[in-house]
Amino acid sequence: MSTPPAFIIETDRTLMIPTPSVALERRAAMEEFEIDLDVGGAPVPVRVPAGWPGDDLAGLPDLLALRASDKSEPWNAMVIDRVRLEAVGQIGCTALPDNDGRVEVRYATLRERRDRGFATEAGGAFVDWLLSRPGVTAVIAECHVHNAPSVRVLEKTGFEPLDEHEDEEGRLLRWIKQRPAA
- Domain-located, residue 65: yes
How far is it, in rounded angstroms, from Cα 130 to Cα 136?
7
The reported pLDDT for the residue numbered 32 is: 86
For residue 167, the domain's CATH number is 3.40.630.30
Say if 114 falls within a structural domain.
Answer: yes
How many whole angstroms separate alpha carbon 136 and alpha carbon 103?
7
CB 28 within 8 A of CB 57: yes
C-alpha closest to that of 164 among 152, 180, 176: 176
Are 142 and 131 in contact, with CB atoms under 8 Å apart?
no
Question: Of 18-27, 47-56, 168-177, where does the model show the most confidence?
Answer: 168-177
Percent of the chain whose pLDDT exceeds 70: 85
Pick the more confident residue, 115 or 150: 150
User: Could you report the per-residue pLDDT of 81-112, keeping only the tens digit for each?
Assistant: 999 999 999 998 888 889 999 999 988 888 88
Is residue 3 assigned to a domain? no
Is residue 1 situated within a structural domain?
A: no
Residue 126 lies inside a defined structural domain of this protein: yes
Give the domain extent around 152: 9-178
Question: Which amino acid is located at 24 in the chain?
Answer: L
Confidence check: pLDDT of 179 > 50: yes
What pLDDT score does 93 carry?
A: 87
Query: Quick one: pLDDT band at residue 71, thresholds 50, 70, 90?
Result: low
Instruction: Note whether residue 2 is domain-resident.
Output: no
In a domain, 27, yes or no: yes
pLDDT at 67: 65
Count structural domains, the chain. Answer: 1
Question: Which of residues 58 and 48 earns the better pLDDT score?
Answer: 48
Show the beta-strand stretches assigned E in 33-135.
33-38, 43-48, 76-81, 86-93, 102-109
Q: What does the pLDDT average to over 140-144?
A: 93
What is the reported pTM?
Answer: 0.88
Check: CB of residue 164 under 8 Å from CB of residue 174: yes
